[in-house]
A and B are shown apart, each in its own frame.
Chain A
Amino acid sequence: MTQRQSRLKEFENRTLFLLGDEAAAYGALYAGCDFFAGYPITPASEIAEVMSRELPRVDGYYVQMEDELASLSAVIGAVWAGGKAMTATSGPGFSLMQENIGYAVMTETPCVIIDVQRSGPSTGQATKPAQGDVLQARWGTHGDHEIIALAPSSVQECFELTVASFNLAEQYRTPVILLMDGEIGHLRESVTFPTFDEVAREERRLAEPDTDLFGGEPIPPMSLFGEGRFIHVTGSTHKASGMRDVQTQAVHEELVTRLCQKIADARAEIASVEQDLVDGARIGVLTYGATARPARGAVLEARRMGCAVDFLRLITIWPFPEEAVKRLAERVETILVPEMNLGQIAREVERFTSLPILPLPKIGGVAHTVDEILEAILSSSSELGSAVG
């Protein structure tokens, strides 16, 4: 039994009362994370605290860097040296990481970035929750790219989706963003730990000698430093061999198209949603993250009052679960999108349907209440002319 297995055995099948942040850190440990570099920031600091305490116990390494630029830099360096690595931050730090997220995309470096979203722009409301980074996660770094981002809406899911993030990172050889929000990161609820063996871990696919590490197939295998292969890793446009070629149009087009397609083509496999659909629904509620909790409450309450409402929760935010959204749009006459920003995902939903989309934004560091969402559902319902009992 490895040191990691014996440490995690102490948690197996136990139910603990944890913060979302803490559960995410334990998810990383179960996923095989052996390197964490970070910088303190509310509401993500508890992730670093758990990692600093636990990583030495599983023969991993924690380092607190001088800033978030350095944090993601160290993470990427650690990956090429053989590590499974992660960092965690919040909005301001996430903004600082954007350049290196692009570097990880371009160099196909599997790694995990947790963003426990807080109220912005800028320092905003510092400690208070928000969901304002969903489009930053998608488009924050420059240049054409695709990204994978997941959003948990419970503490248990913080654990599970951190594991999933590590696995997707390895599977698609790409950075994966876990879009938590301050509401979930600082929520304390029960989380049940699986056994070590119950957790599926995607291992890194390492290359045979003389295979290309940066092309030749949609998701090429990796190689690591110190094996005598003399690999060249660069954020500049490169050929399948890894060698830089910033002059040839076709080289850039082929590389960047492949980097986008490897994720876009796997949309159906990656995109995960939770849906609860009912017969005769004319209204759909589409939501994610912490907001899914009051939204779910409102949907159940509306149904209790006789108003049939479909519920769709995005677990994968990027690549966008287009098919699930289109299916929902075919069933209902209007879609409500409650989110803790001024309509970032509502805007994305509009791309896939001609139905009227009703954004239900809430900012200011306070989550929606059940009543607020319920009221919006009932008001839509009466506009549609439904009889509500």
Chain B
Amino acid sequence: MKDDVIIPGPEKRLKPHRLLKFLRQEILPTTFCPGCGCGTVLNGFAQAVDELGIDPKDMVFVTGIGCSSWIPSPYFKGDTLHTTHGRPIAFATGVKIMRPDLKVVVIAGDGDIAGIGGNHLIHAARRNIDMTVLMVNNWNYGMTGGQVSPTTPFGVPTTTTPYDNVEHPLEAAELVAAAGANYVSRWTTYHVFPLMESIQKALQVDGFSFIEILSQCPVSYGKMVDMRKASDFLKFYRDQSVRVHKAKAMSAEELEGKIVVGKLMERERTEFTASLRRINERFRKG
């Protein structure tokens, strides 16, 4: 491991950021494209971990394949299990059952979590297994160059919907809430402080916690819709977002194209691994 961290940028910025302690500094800088929202998510997540005072030794990060899977793996200095595409929640299920004392965090993209791995998302939420899933939704398969994903808005061109997307996007957060998770919210990389608070909340919830984070992809997605700057997306998120309580009073027509942000679900259903352990206690010698 290198001792001297070379942080790109002017010399005066070399003072290490207080959150750098959470990163595998020897492999920086990140491979994220200019303007990518993954940095904001990483920052918000690291802030949340710092403020909660969680020791990374007590966490396990499980990720899939895609840009946002790189947020914790390999960058976050913790145990990191970088799995096959779509399967991080299923891998995380095995980790959590065997080590319920560890905080299990999955960070992955919309293609990974809602597309190829959508079934695992539904069933992990249904079991209400204690883990935190951050689904970084950039509306496309960014790593592979900008193909349509299950969350791409209707009518939008991508590299594989050259005549515009004719599929309706999946509302992942609502799906997870319906499937049985104890905590669900949706935020965007524009809403950095509420997002950070929501991550803190999700990390403390006993049960399945899920945050859908809309996160800009100005390179792969933006090139097709002429939103080539991060700020194009942040302004869009700002202007199109509607808080949950306001959305409740709006008609379906009024909500068309809007992004409903805020807490969508909070409840206290029985957590899965605790139920498993209760079965085992029946057979323990008294």
Contact = CB atoms under 8 A, between A and B. Distances in A.
Contacts of A15: none
A59 B57 contact: no
B279 A82 contact: no
Interface in A78-104: 78-83, 85, 99-100, 103
A66 B123 contact: yes
A231 B79 contact: yes
Interface stretch (B6-14, B95-103, B204-212): B95-103
A3 B284 contact: yes
A121 interface: no
Given A3-B283, A77-B91, A226 B57 contact: yes
Nearest to A231: B79
Given A225-B60, A230-B79, A70 B99 contact: no
B80 A233 contact: yes
Interface in A195-223: none
A67 B58 CA distance: 29
Contact of A235 (B79, B84, B96): B84
A340 interface: no
B53 interface: no
Interface in A226-283: 226-236, 243-244
Contacts of A63: 93-94, 97, 276
Contacts of A230: 24, 56-57, 77-80
Given A225-B60, A234-B82, A243-B74, A81 B280 contact: no
A80 B80 CA distance: 10
Contacts of B93: 37, 63, 65, 70, 73-74, 77
Interface residues of A, number: 46
A198 B98 CA distance: 27
Given A76-B91, A81-B95, A243-B74, A236 B82 contact: yes
B55 to A, nearest CB: 8
Interface string A28-61: 0000001101000000000000000000110101
Interface in B29-86: 56-58, 60, 62, 73-74, 77-84, 86
B240 interface: no
Given A228-B57, A230-B56, A243-B27, A37 B82 contact: no
A191 B80 CA distance: 42
B119 interface: yes
A70 B74 CA distance: 23
Interface string A102-120: 0100000000000000000
A206 B32 CA distance: 35
A59 B283 contact: yes
A80 B91 CA distance: 10
Contact of A78 (B86, B98, B280, B282): B98
B92 interface: yes
A79 B83 CA distance: 13
B208 to A, nearest CB: 14
A22 to B, nearest CB: 19
Contacts of B86: 69
Given A70-B119, A77-B92, A61 B98 contact: yes
Contact of A73 (B80, B87, B285): B87
B282 A77 contact: no
B234 interface: no
A74 B58 CA distance: 19
B191 interface: no
A388 B101 CA distance: 70
Nearest to A85: B94
B285 A65 contact: no
A6 interface: yes
A35 B91 CA distance: 13
Nearest to B58: A226
A312 interface: no
Interface string A280-301: 0000000000000000000000
B156 interface: no
B180 to A, nearest CB: 13
B79 A70 contact: no
Nearest to B277: A61
Given A74-B91, A81-B102, A56 B120 contact: no
B90 interface: yes
Contact of B94 (A7, A57, A78, A235): A78
23 contacts: A6-B285, A7-B283, A35-B98, A37-B93, A56-B279, A63-B93, A69-B90, A73-B93, A74-B90, A74-B91, A74-B93, A74-B97, A77-B94, A77-B98, A80-B79, A81-B102, A226-B79, A226-B101, A230-B56, A230-B80, A232-B24, A234-B80, A244-B74
Interface of B: 24, 27, 56-58, 60, 62, 73-74, 77-84, 86-87, 90-99, 101-102, 119-120, 122-123, 276, 279-280, 282-285
Interface of A: 3, 6-7, 34-35, 37, 56-57, 59, 61, 63, 65-67, 69-71, 73-83, 85, 99-100, 103, 225-236, 243-244
Q: Shortest 4 CB-CB distances between A and B: which pairs? A: A77-B94, A73-B90, A74-B94, A78-B94
Given A35-B98, A59-B283, A61-B280, 4 more contacts: A56-B279, A71-B90, A226-B79, A231-B80
